[in-house]
Structure formats: C-alpha cells, structure tokens
C-alpha cells in the first residue's frame, strides 16, 4: 500500500471509531415503560337486592347440568403423554415468543416490560424489585391475578413454570401486593425510584370502534331500483292467452261500428 492510500484510509478508520464511541456513550432507551396513574375512576356499582343472590330453580338446574357436562368431559378426556404436553407447550411458545407483562400498583401506576416467553416468574419479580426504592426493596411483595391467583416464587407449582405454562402469554396484567399494608393504600404513590417515575407517560387511550350503519338494506333497495327498467316482468301464458282473446273480441265488436255505412 502506498503512503497516499494509507493516509487516505486513516481518517475513515478514525471516523468509524468516533461513531462507535459516540453510539456507546449515547443514552440507551429504557427497556420498559412507565404509565402514570389514570385519572379515570370507575363508578361504584349500584347495590343489588338480596333476592339477586338467591338462586332460582332454573339456576340450580343450569349449574347442575354444567357441572355434569364438565365432569363427563374430564372423565372421557384422553390421557396425554408427557411428549404430547411438551409439544403443545412448544407450539404455544413458538406462536408467542415474547410475553408483555404489565405490573399495576395500588395507585394505578403501571410498569410494562416484554419478556421472553421461556422466562419464569422470578424474572418478573427481579425486574420489579430492581426499580423499587432502596427502603422498599427488602419488603416482600406478591404478584397476583384477581381474584385469588397468587404467583408466588415460593410456590413450586409456579416457580418452575414458564410464562407460557402460567397462561400469561402473549400479554397479562398482574397486580402487586406488599406485605406491609401501609404500602397497599390507593393514596400511597408507587414506591419506585425517582429516575423511573420521571419517565412516566400517560396511558394510551383505548381504541374506540364506531358502529357504522349497515348499508345492506340501502344497497339492496338500490339494486332493485337499478334493475327495474331493464328487467322484464314475466307474464303467465294463460294470462297472455286470455288477454289476447279479450282484445280480439273487443276489436270485432268495435270495427263494424267504426266503418261508414
């Protein structure tokens, strides 16, 4: 390589090194989202009368029928081999390779992060604990789904299963409950570190799909009107024969009177 070529290649290599250094020093985008508490509060439901909770005879018969059908289905269900179950779980994981988990605090602040579906629930716990304040990190908490499904890491039926096996894929909302009840009040802000709270954004508004009036009836009416002039109405043959004879009879009666004498 000549000295000219070497001198021309040095600035290019140096510029590449500078670009890589700047990209490494640039602040990385957070791998999670933080949503501010929503200002919308659900209205309290109207109280129900006592007789609403008393089942009728029809309710009892329907419940009995449903229970019998479920028992029969479980009894007749074929036993699945371990290989079959594993194949079904793998198919689900291939269909949903990632799982989006949203953690909701009691003040309605929410954390959202996407995990590989092969991860276990302890990964979600570690993610939440990392973002808590230092004075709150030692306090134990439980992630759960209402009404009573606790996803405890200490539960062997939970800790050894993946997010797919826990039926959390492709997305789920988990509520958080601290052992310290003072942190579970709705008036207490989420005990997250300041840098996390500073990234909070407003919740995205739900997509509202407006019901458009059906144009089926109008299109049918228009199609009928457009076909009106061009479509010839069929007349039965017996009606044509009777109409022809009546016209001939009237012509025979009218012609002699119309001729001059």
**pLDDT tens across 191-223, in order?**
999 999 999 999 887 766 665 555 544 555 454
**Rounded Cα distance, 197 and 195, in Å:** 6
**Average pLDDT, stretch 103-110?**
95
**231 confidence band (pLDDT: 50, 70, 90):** very low
Contacts of 135 (CB under 8 A, 6+ apart): 191
Whether pLDDT at 22 is above 50: no
Binning pLDDT at 50, 70 and 90, where does residue 236 land?
low
Summary mean pLDDT of the chain: 77
Reading the block at residue 106, the tokens are 């009691």
Half-sphere exposure for 88 (CA within 13 Å, toward CB)? 8
Length of the chain: 261
pLDDT score recorded for residue 87: 77
Q: Is 46 helix (H, G, I), strand (E, B) or coil?
A: coil
Res. 10 pLDDT band, cuts 50 70 90:
very low
- Cα separation, 125 vs 249, in Å, equals 101
CA–chain centroid gap for 94, Å, is 19
Residue 258, CB-side half-sphere exposure with 13 Å CA sphere? 6
Please state whether the peptide bond connecting residue 98 to the residue before it is cis, i.e. omega within 30 degrees of 0.
no
Give every CB contact of residue 84 below 8 A, 6+ residues apart in sequence.
none
- Find tokens 């079959």 and name the residue: 84
Among 43-57, 92-106, 184-198, the range of highest mean pLDDT:
184-198
Q: Report the DSSP beta bridge partners of residue 172.
A: 101
Place 49 in a pLDDT band, splitting at 50, 70 and 90.
confident
pLDDT at res. 196: 94
Residues 6+ apart with CB under 8 A from 108: 37, 38, 186
pLDDT computed for residue 208 by the predictor = 64
**Peptide bond preceding 170: is omega within 30 degrees of 0, i.e. cis?**
yes
More confidently predicted of 241 and 46: 46
Say what percent of the chain tops pLDDT 90.
Answer: 41
CB 175 within 8 A of CB 144: yes
Given a cut of 60, is residue 15 above it in pLDDT? no
The model's pLDDT over 139-185, given as tens digits with 9 standing for 90+, comes to 999 999 998 899 999 999 999 999 999 999 999 999 999 999 999 99
In whole angstroms, give the CA distance from residue 41 to residue 80: 46
Q: What is the pLDDT of residue 243?
A: 56
pLDDT of 255 > 70? The answer is no
Q: Which of 179, 173, 102 is nearest to 136 (CA)?
A: 179
Q: pLDDT by residue (tens digit) across 60-91?
A: 888 889 888 888 877 777 766 777 777 777 77
Q: What is the pTM of this model?
A: 0.56
If you average pLDDT over each of 21-25, 140-144, 228-232, which comes out highest? 140-144
Q: What angle do CA 51, 57, 61 make, to 5 degrees?
A: 130
pLDDT tens digits, one per residue of 25-40: 444 566 899 999 876 5
């Amino acid at each position: 390589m000549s000295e000219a070529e070497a001198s021309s290649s040095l600035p290019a290599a140096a510029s590449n090194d500078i670009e890589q250094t700047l990209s490494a020093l640039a602040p990385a985008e957070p791998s999670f989202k933080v949503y501010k508490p929503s200002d919308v509060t659900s209205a309290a439901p109207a109280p129900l009368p006592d007789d609403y909770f008393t089942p009728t005879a029809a309710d009892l018969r329907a419940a009995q029928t449903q229970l019998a059908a479920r028992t029969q289905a479980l009894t007749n269900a074929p036993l699945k081999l371990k290989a079959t179950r594993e194949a079904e779980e793998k198919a689900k994981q291939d269909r949903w390779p990632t799982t989006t988990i949203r953690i909701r605090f009691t003040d309605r602040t929410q954390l959202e992060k996407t995990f590989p579906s092969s991860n276990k629930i302890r990964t979600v716990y570690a993610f939440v604990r990392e973002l808590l304040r230092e004075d709150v990190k030692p306090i134990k908490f439980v992630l759960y789904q209402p009404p009573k499904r606790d996803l405890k890491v200490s539960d062997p039926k939970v800790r050894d299963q993946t997010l797919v096996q826990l039926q959390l894929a492709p997305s789920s909302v988990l509520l958080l409950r601290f052992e310290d009840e003072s942190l579970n009040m709705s008036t207490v802000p989420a005990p997250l570190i300041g840098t996390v709270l500073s990234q909070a954004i407003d919740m995205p508004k739900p997509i509202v799909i407006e019901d458009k009036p059906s144009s089926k009836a109008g299109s049918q009416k228009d199609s009928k009107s457009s076909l009106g002039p061009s479509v010839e109405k069929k007349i039965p043959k017996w009606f044509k024969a009777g109409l022809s004879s009546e016209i001939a009879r009237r012509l025979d009666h009218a012609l002699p009177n119309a001729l001059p004498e």
